[in-house]
Structure 1
Amino acid sequence: MSVFMDLNLSFTADKRVLQSLVETAAHRECPVCLCLQEIPTPTPINKLIDRLPIVQGRSRPIRVLNRLTVVMSDSSHFRPNAVEYRSFDLLAVRPTTEKLFHAACMLYDVDIICICVTEKLPFFFKRAPVSGAVDRGVAFEVSYSAAIRDASMRRYTIANALSLMDTCKGKNVILSSAAEKALELRGPYDITNLGLLFGLSDGDAKEAVSSTCRSVLLHAESRKTASGVIYTVKSSSEPGSQQGAPSDSRVTVFILINNP
């Protein structure tokens, strides 16, 4: 299993609050956390925090990235060729209509699709667009901090998460905090328990705060710098291999093609 990650921490201009958020994330063993930033260019983290805290149980400091989340109520809100988007490490969208959700799953070049957890969704998840997003490597995000703040939001969070899991079967799901203050952060094992409440299996819940998050980061890197091609070739076994070994093996080759 990969290291634990929280891919959604709310940005605040209050340096003291931001420092507390990052330090708590490091103490909770979350070596990667994201600060939400407004367009235009995000502020470098070294100008906001003088010294990054060391991740608990490790010798290196926490890694902080910048993320842009576009809340979409109209297709014009997402500008795929916008130069400003390149300043952010992760690109996420939160569609508010079924049509925009379908477009985000099938067309938009993003890393994360956020599921609204503060109100009842005005549409149902359909298997075709959800499967399309999974095939393209786009992750669905469910945030848990709203469920901590308010009882009604807790009901919406659980209901919307269960609806998503029923459609995607736990594939390509990440669990994040969207925390605005340190008290809203939870440890990775507490989050996996929340994942069970959201309809994830034990294994999928653990991956939702670790290996799936790493896949999101790799997807973001390839989206910004290159496109990939994967193919499998058959090769003969080497002479002197053990008796009973298969006569051939398959080797998977991954090629990166730089964008012009």
Structure 2
Amino acid sequence: MSVFMDLNLSFSADRSHLQSLVETAAHLGYSTVAINYVFEPTAKKKQEIPVPKPISELMDQLPIVQGRSRPIKVLNRLTVVMSDSSHFRPNSAEYRRFDLLAVHPTTEKLFHSACMLYDVDIVCISVTEKLPFFFKRAPVNGAVERGVVFELCYSAALRDSTLRRYTIANALSLMETCKGKNVIVSSAAEKALELRGPYDITNLGLLFGLSDADAKEAVSSTCRSVLLHAETRKTASGIIYTMKSCSKQEETPESEPSEAPAAKRPHLAE
């Protein structure tokens, strides 16, 4: 039996609103969901990266997943909306507070950097506007080789016919390049009515240009690969961070070892 995941539920300060989202996801059969905190820096003023709230503060009790005897697993995710390269801070300590790290590049140059350079788990594809660039094979293949996945969100397509056209057009454009590899489909739902079941999303994936197998993997095994990639990334960054701290301590000059005192010679009697 497949384990289904929705790695993008929009964060809401309204506790009851967020609880309704998670309960609906569990009722639809999702075993794992991620609460998404969106961070969109601006040049006008300095903004602080949001701090994820503990799940215990958001919900008194986690709901049981439909068809399973275990409660739903809730993760925290940060999505950085990038319109400039300075908006992403490599090795930032604030990023380590989140289970998943995603970027939403808005230009071709930033998309290339996200695929080839940035240490992230997910690259978000815009669904609310026509992309200002075409997907190129080199960065897309580079992301696939690094284990980074591309995310398509469907909730915008449910709200408006224009957004629906953008969603389908951008999805088909991506599929022409990546051939369905390393793609996940998430909801980005802001309210419970925008959530759809895993098998509905599998059918929707066909509309996005995914095959039957890839569409099912987009809400199951590929999502699991994202979680494994995130664990590896956090472990590696922790090791690098620790090594840097140690190297700084080792940079302090140490006193040169003093020469061993010469052995006393026996006093010769005159």
Number of matched residues? 231
The amino acid that maps onto 1:58 is R
Indicate the residue corresponding to 2:166 in structure 1: 156
Whether the 8 Å CA contact 1:2–1:214 is kept in 2: the answer is no
Matches of 1:136 and 1:215, distance apart in 2: 12
Indicate the residue corresponding to 1:41 in structure 2: 51
> Cα offset for 1:258?
5.5
Matches of 1:223 and 1:182, distance apart in 2: 31
Q: Pairwise mapping of residues 84-95 of structure 1 onto structure 2 (< 5 A)?
A: 84-95=94-105
Q: Pairwise mapping of residues 1-260 of structure 1 onto structure 2 (< 5 A)?
A: 2-37=2-37, 39-226=49-236, 259=240, 260=243
Indicate the residue corresponding to 1:252 in structure 2: none
Indicate the residue corresponding to 1:247 in structure 2: none
Segments of 5+ residues of structure 1 without an aligned counterpart are 228-256
The amino acid that maps onto 1:26 is A
Matches of 1:164 and 1:66, distance apart in 2: 26
Matches of 2:117 and 2:2, distance apart in 1: 29
Matches of 1:28 and 1:154, distance apart in 2: 23
Query: Secondary structure of the equivalent of 2:103?
Result: strand
Residue identity (%): 80
With normalisation by structure 1, the TM-score equals: 0.87
Matches of 1:172 and 1:12, distance apart in 2: 28
Which has more radius of gyration?
2
Matches of 2:141 and 2:224, distance apart in 1: 20
> Cα offset for 1:82?
1.2
CA RMSD of aligned residues (A): 1.3
Q: Deviations over 1:34-86 (max 9, x none)?
A: 11226232110110110010001111110000000000000000001211100
The amino acid that maps onto 1:111 is D
Higher helix fraction (1 or 2): 2
Matches of 1:11 and 1:135, distance apart in 2: 31
Q: Deviations over 1:119-174 (max 9, x none)?
A: 00000000000000000000000000000011100000000000000100000000
Query: Secondary structure of the equivalent of 2:30?
Result: coil
Higher strand fraction (1 or 2): 1
